[in-house]
Amino acid sequence: EIEMTQSPATLSVSPGERATLSCRASQSVANSLAWYQQRPGQPPRLLIFGASTRAPGIPARFSGGGSGTEFTLTISSLQSEDFALYFCHQYNNWPPLHTFGQGTKLQIK
């Protein structure tokens, strides 16, 4: 099983500033990496797939990068609605065995 490790567990950033979240895979997942945002009481929402492609309707302030084992999600100029929980997900296995990071909580500083 590929383990996904996110850091930090909690990130405190002021509105308008930039936030960078990290995700590390225990072995290479190529670019089969997605990011999801989860607001309280809501299901996760797909933000990024293929490590760096924004899903339809996702604002340009969200960007993803990396490949192999190291990935980042950057949110430039944080808006109030961006303070939420973020998960990474690798989907590089066959047969399917999906794993998620434990999450990074992005909170207002």
Q: For binding to another protein (CB under 8 A), which residues are involved?
A: 1, 32, 34, 36, 42-46, 49-50, 53, 55, 87, 89, 91, 95-103
If the CB atoms of residues 9 and 16 are measured against another protein, the closer one turns out to be 9
Distance (Å, whole) CA 3 – CA 40: 25
If the CB atoms of residues 16 and 95 are measured against another protein, the closer one turns out to be 95
If the CB atoms of residues 16 and 40 are measured against another protein, the closer one turns out to be 40
Question: In the complex, what is the shortest distance from the CB of residue 34 to another protein, in angstroms, rounded to a whole number?
Answer: 4
Distance (Å, whole) CA 106 – CA 20: 10
Question: In the complex, what is the shortest distance from the CB of residue 97 to another protein, in angstroms, rounded to a whole number?
Answer: 7
Question: In the complex, what is the shortest distance from the CB of residue 85 to another protein, in angstroms, rounded to a whole number?
Answer: 9
Contact 21, 1 (CB under 8 A): no
Tokens of 49: 């797939």
Question: In the complex, what is the shortest distance from the CB of residue 70 to another protein, in angstroms, rounded to a whole number?
Answer: 19
Supply the DSSP string of 33-52, one letter for each residue. Answer: EEEEEE-TTS--EEEEETTT
How would you classify the pairing of strands 62-67 and 70-75?
A: antiparallel
